[in-house]
Structure formats: structure tokens, C-alpha cells
A and B are shown apart, each in its own frame.
Chain A
């Protein structure tokens, strides 16, 4: 079925079309005027005090327009300034680096840390920052190939928390590592609903190898890695839940958990020339100690998924139009349990949990006009395995689209 031919959703999309027709050309025009006024090699505003202090000022403004055949968690059919971040970063002396970032929209601190960098092999970072887990999750939002991170990154990877980490590069920079201890298991796992549970003290580690880094071969840019995290969750329903690309539930994890939460991640990236290829797998398990109807243990609740994505730059870095890039991604996100004893059930104490899976294909284009301005457009096709649990109970597959304008200083 063609994505736009549903009668029921035609009206919704007509409204979205009007929004895009009226807003997007105006935005693009503004972008071009703004971009042409700025020198391509301009730098961030910064302050320096001799050799001992450097302060770079950062600001990021991000506006989204989103439309979907399915319900969305937020209706952003109008241009929504989704992110307004201000921050500073720099160094103190030769051995300390720092970053402080604040989100004006949600009034919350983002990265706030101090990094002791005297030795390349052993550096120490303390404060609030992303746990060392996941390639996509630890990629800056200004550098993403798509408007939204893969759902395994935004749902299963831990995200940001307070902690201390040791990191560095060893073996002639062929291996980078990071390992830390954090107060909890990240803001991706933290509940918006206060009755849900999340992890306590968390240990996380990530190791990435660049096996052909020093070679001249096309594989020089290849990196492979893995990550582990471990924590304990108290008794309750977990806050880690299944959401579509636009944030609507397709499985609510209304299952009792208690015990160890473990995450396992594998990642790979290769950037030969103008193309890039990236893939990641994440598995999260929550123990369910003492949660069976006989107060015994149940098989762990599992959430797992993977993605593979690729990009191709149509223009080089020095092109007068900036960088224009095409991208495609296929991803899955599944929730369930590892039990096999009996029929799958929606019971909160079922050994075999009746979970759900969402498969999404994203096609995208991005235009980095210069280092300040980036425009992205994505079209997403999602397919929910059990539509009755999803945003459109009578229908499993639906289309969505998003447009983003990002200004970075």
C-alpha cells in the first residue's frame, strides 16, 4: 500500500503538507541568507587567558516539524523549537578539560564535567556525562546522520548520569577505553512516571578498537567495539519501555522485575571515502528474582535490537553548497523474555512474556550548509509485529516524516 493513500489519515497529512509547504521554504530561505553571511572558517566565540584558561561558548537551537500516520507522543505539526542549549567548554591549564551545558527548554543541566587529561593512556572524568555505552548514543547530536538516534540507543543505552570514569587510548591509539561508576543507569532508563523503577549504582565499560588505524588500507577507518553495564533494579515495573520513533508505546513493560540489570553492546563503524557504514546491537536484561506466582525466579525480561545504517556524501567537504548526504537505516527493537515454559502471556508474572517488536526503515537526507547550519529530512516506515499493542491497534505499518533545522554556534 502506498504510504499516503489511506483515507483515514489523508486529512492529517493534508494539514502536515500545508505546514511543510508554508514553513519549510521560508526556513530554507532564511538558512541560505544566514549561511551566506557567515564565513566558512568562522570559529566558536571564545575567551582565553594566556595558556591557563580557554572558554569556548556554545549554543544550539533545533527546530522540528513531524508528521505521522500514527499518533505521536507530541504533536509537532508546527515548527517546534525542540532544543535550546547553551554551554561552555574548554580547558584549565594543560591538564583539565571541562564542559557545562544547560537545556533551556526543559530547564536541566546536561553535560557538566571536569576531565583530567595529563596522560593519554589514563584520563579521569567526573561529573554528569553519558555512560560509556553505545556508539550512536555517544555521538554528538550535531553529528548524527539521522534526525533521531536509533531506538536501541535512545531506549536501551543508559544515557547520561553522574559518575566518575577512567578513559584513555592505549596500544598506539589503536584501542580506546572508558570505564566508570555512576549513581544510576542513565536518563534513558529513568522514569517519567515515578512509580517505575530504574537502576541504582551502575558500572559501565566500553572498549573500541581500530585494528587497521595505522595502515593505508581502505579499512583504516574501521572500528569495532563492545560495551557492558551492570546495575541492580529494585522491585517494580521497569521504566525501560518500548516506544515508536515518535515516542508512542508499543509495549509497556508492565512486568515485575527485581535483581540485576545487564546491558551488552556490540558496535562497528567503517568510513571508506564518502560512504559510511555503521551497525550496533544492544541487549538489556532485567532479572525477575522471586516474581513467579510461587515466589520463585522468572526468566529475565529482555529488550534487544540492532540497526545497520549507511550514508553517502554527494558533495565533498569543500563544496560551495556545503555537505549533502543521503542516509538509510534499518533497525529493530524487541521486548519480551527469555522464558520458554508455556504460552506467551501479558501477565505481570509470566515466564514467557508476550512482548512486541518494531521494525523501522529510515531514509534521510542532510545538508550541512556550513559548520553552523544543518538541515535534515527523514521518512520512516515502521512495522509493529503486534499492532494491538501499538499506536494504531488495527494496523501494524505506518509512515512518518520529520524535518529538522539545527543552528549551532
Chain B
């Protein structure tokens, strides 16, 4: 017996060491994630959930225990004391500490989504369309042994993510922060308004001019009169083809809170390589997708100063329509989107029912799932029809 225990102990680190981040983001598995937070810190975290205060914690998954990680509440509209969305920084208190190669991780509380599967399914679809998107899976999160609820486990967009997805993690990464209704207008010469809206995630110690002047130039150029050189000049600061592709995917998914958000631009990262000034978009936070099945493909385009002008160019408009059609066909092919939604529903159903921190009832959940399945069945045909009319 002692011998068996010894062998088990010797093997356990080997098993733990064999796990990879792909295993953690295996979305066919419902994971169990455990956090240990001192009772007083947890009380503070819930009481001061509107503040970005880090608390020390231990993080555990499949027997791998990461000690002294930093945990803080995250989110904007989804901030909650009952079921807080959390950001985990593994290297907050231990320099260079990573979990399966990751420096950070997001535990998304999916509070605004009664189905709780929009976020993960959307990101999977974006990846299917060849665009970079964070890997995601689902996890039952326990804090100090008590079930906190079902969370989306979301890979952080950081240097590690960029290196894997783009082959370059050394550049300038900015998270767009929602301040007010910003529709890609020219905010003037001062870099301050841009700094307010674009939070530098890398190169933080560099000066504002280095960080923000290319962003200022992007929006300055985007707001000039459309002429023969507009596309070339704006193209110095943003990859217009990638922008159009990004927005087309959002449009297919009927995203209400994305680049063409109803309240202004929202939920994206801007990335700019060290060499050059050309930015690109990276999708973030997709829990308000799958809205109206018959959402117009040009909805809110006119509101956005940059995108409105971009679509005045026939090649970019054609690209937009092409990507929309590709999205529709990719979603419908072998009922990919419907099957994906069904699988996720089967995976999380019980965990959702046990989740007492969610804002919605079981009936809301079932209704949301029915809507999603209907969306998957009907949206592709609607979009293909709209594209055909627009051509």
C-alpha cells in the first residue's frame, strides 16, 4: 500500500506537468477551477467590486496549484458582487510565474447572457473564419470550496496570445476602453482623449507620443474627405482589409456591442507591430452577439466615421459582402453553428441550473437557447439574401 502511494505521489507531478493550455481550453470538457482567497479579502472583493483591487489567491486546476496569483474583479456592465467576473494574473506577485504558459486568465461571469454560451461560441466562430480570437472553455468556479457559478474561461489577449496567433508578440497592444459614445471621430491634436480610450497593455513605460500618436493619426486620416488617397493614407495606420473582415464577422453574428456598437465602438483590442504604424483589430468580449436574426447587414455603418468611409470604396464593400457570405456559408455548412450551440448547451446545462449567481431564470435560459438555435438555422439564409440584394 505504501509503495502504491509512493508511486502515485511520484507520478502526480508528471501527470500535472503533461497538461497544456490546449487542455485547459478544451471546450468539450466542463472544467473545475478552484480559487482560494482569504475570507477577509473575499469580503473586500465583494464589497468593493467596482474597484480594480488585486487580492492574493491560490488557483487550482486538475491538481495544478498556482500559489500567490493576483485576482481582481473585472468587467464594465457585468460587474457583480454576487458573481464577480475575475481576472487572474499569475505573475502579479511572483515575477515570471505562468500557468501553462499563460501570464493571465479571465473568468468571464457571462452575466448579461442568459444562455451563457454566446461568448465562447462567438469566439469559436471568429477562429473558424480565420481571425485571431482568444481560446475559451467553460468552468465551474469554486471559491474557498463554494460553487460560485459557471464561467467562461477566457485566454487573455497579451504577448503570449499575440505571439501564437500573429507570430509577433512584441508590438503595441491597446485595449479599447468604453468612455462615451466614440464613433471613430477625430478627437483633435491632444493625445489625452486617445490615451483615455486606448489602454496600453504593453510598452507601458514608453512615452505617450510613441504610444498614441499613430492612433491619433489613424483617426485624423480616417476623418478626412474621401478622395483618391484616403484609402492609402488610412491604410498607413490600419489594415483596412482586416478591419472590414472583422466587422463583417461581427455583423453576421448580429453583435450589438462591437466595433459598430450601438453606444459607440466597443470590445476590441488594437495591435500595432513595433515596425510600422499599421494597426489591426482583435475581438474581445462577445457576450452580446446573436441578437436579432434579421439584423440588417449595414446596420449602424453610417454611425462610424471610419467604417462608413471605408465602405465607399468598391473593393472594400465587395470584401465586406464576400466575408458576410463566407460567414453564412461557414455557419450553415454541416449545421456547424447549430451543432456547436447544441454541444455547448449539453455541456453547461446542469452547471447553469446550479448557478445561483446568474441574473436569469431557468426559463430564460431555455428561451435563450431556443433563440440561439433558431438564429443558427435562419441567420445564414437571411444574410445570404441581404448580400445578394446588396451586390
Distance between Cα atoms of A291 and B39 in the complex (Å) = 9
User: Which one of A115-123, A196-204, A275-283, A345-353 is at the interface?
Assistant: A345-353
Given A343-B67, A345-B68; A293-B38 close (CB under 8 Å): yes
Contact with B along A338-375 (1 / 0, CB 8 A): 00001111111111001000000000000000000000
Instruction: Contact check, B38 vs A347: say whether CB atoms are below 8 A apart.
Output: no
Task: Write the B70-84 contact mask toward A (1 if CB under 8 angstroms, else 0).
Answer: 100000000000000
| Contact of A343 with B39 at beta-carbon distance under 8 Å, contacts A293-B57, A349-B56 already known | no
Residues A295 and B93 in contact in the complex (CB < 8 Å), given A343-B67, A345-B68, A348-B56: no
Residues of B within 8 A of A294 (CB): 36, 38, 58, 144
**Are A342 and B67 neighbours in the complex by a CB distance under 8 Å?**
yes
- Give A341's nearest chain B residue, CB to CB: B67
Q: Indicate if the CB atoms of B97 and A293 lie closer than 8 Å.
A: no
Tell me if A295 and B39 are in contact (CB < 8 A).
Answer: yes
Contact yes or no, A343 B68, CB < 8 A: yes
B104 to chain A, nearest CB (A): 16
**Chain A residue contacts of B30, Cβ below 8 A:** none
Decide if the interface of chain A is mainly helix, strand, loop or mixed. loop
What are 5 A-to-B residue pairs whose CB atoms are below 8 Å? A345-B67, A345-B93, A346-B93, A347-B93, A351-B67
Binary A-proximity of B214-243 (CB < 8 A = 1, otherwise 0): 000000000000000000000000000000
Cα-based distance from A342 to B64 in the complex (angstroms): 13
Q: Does B37 contact A (CB under 8 A)?
A: yes
Closest to A293 in B: B36
B94 contacts A by Cβ under 8 Å: yes
Contact (Cβ within 8 A) A350 B38: no
Known contacts A293-B56, A294-B144; is-contact A345 B38 (Cβ 8 Å): no
Residue A292 CB within 8 A of the other chain? yes
| Chain A residues with CB below 8 A from B70, complex form | 347
Instruction: Give the Cβ gap from B26 to chain A, nearest Cβ, in Å.
Output: 27
Q: Within the assembled complex, what's the spacing in Å between the Cα atoms of A8 and B56?
A: 38
Contact indicator per residue, chain A 312-345, by CB within 8 Å of chain B (1) or not (0): 0000000000000000000000000000001111
Which A residues lie within 8 Å of B93 (CB)?
A: 345-347, 350
In the complex with contacts A293-B57, A344-B94, A345-B93, A350-B36 CB distance below 8 A: no
For this complex, into which size category does the number of interface residues on chain A fall?
Answer: 10 to 19
User: Shortest distance in angstroms between B45's beta carbon and chain A's nearest beta carbon?
Assistant: 12
Q: Say yes or no: A343 contacts B97, CB within 8 Å.
A: yes
- A144-185 contact mask (Cβ, 8 Å, vs B): 1 or 0: 000000000000000000000000000000000000000000
Cα distance A350–B38 in the bound complex, in angstroms: 12
Taking A293-B56, A348-B56, A349-B68 as known contacts, 11 extra A-B pairs with beta carbons closer than 8 A to each other, sorted by chain A number, are A295-B38, A295-B39, A343-B67, A343-B68, A343-B94, A344-B94, A345-B94, A346-B93, A349-B41, A350-B68, A350-B93
A344 to B144, CA, bound (A): 23
Q: Return the chain B residue nearest A346 by Cβ.
A: B93
User: Which A residues from 241 to 280 make CB contacts under 8 A with B?
Assistant: none
Q: How far, in whole Å, are A342 and B36 apart by their CA atoms in the complex?
A: 16
Question: In the complex, how many angstroms separate the beta carbon of B145 from the nearest chain A beta carbon?
Answer: 9
| Bound-complex Cα distance A244 to B49 (A) | 37
Measured between beta carbons, the chain A residues less than 8 angstroms from B37 are: 293
A344 to B93 alpha-carbon distance, docked (Å) = 9
B99 to nearest A CB, angstroms? 13
Q: Which of B39, B57, B68 has most chain A Cβ within 10 Å?
A: B68
A346 to B68, CA, bound (A): 8
Complex contacts, A292 vs chain B, CB 8 Å: 38
A267 and B350 CA atoms in complex are apart in Å by 67
Which chain B residues lie closer than 8 Å to A342 at the CB level? 67-68
Tell me if B68 and A347 are in contact (CB < 8 A): yes
Closest to A344 in B: B94
Q: How many angstroms from the CA of A294 to the CA of B56 in the assembled complex?
A: 11
B41: shortest Cβ distance to chain A, in Å?
A: 8
Complex Cα gap A348–B41 (Å): 11
Shortest beta-carbon distance, B91 to chain A, in Å? 10
Which chain B residues in 94-117 approach chain A with CB under 8 Å? Answer: 94, 97
A351 to B57 Cα, complex, angstroms:
12
Are B97 and A350 in touch, CB under 8 angstroms?
A: no
Residue numbers in A under 8 Å from B41 (CB-CB): 293, 349
* Bound Cα distance A310, B141 (Å): 61
Partner of B56 from A343, A344, A347, A354 at Cβ < 8 Å: A347
Please give the distance in Å from A8's CB to the nearest CB on chain B: 18
Report the minimal beta-carbon distance from B142 to chain A, rounded to whole angstroms. 13
Q: Which residues of A contact B56 (CB under 8 A)?
A: 293, 345, 347-350
Q: Least Cβ distance of B80 to chain A in Å? A: 22
A294 (CB) vs chain B CBs: closest residue: B36
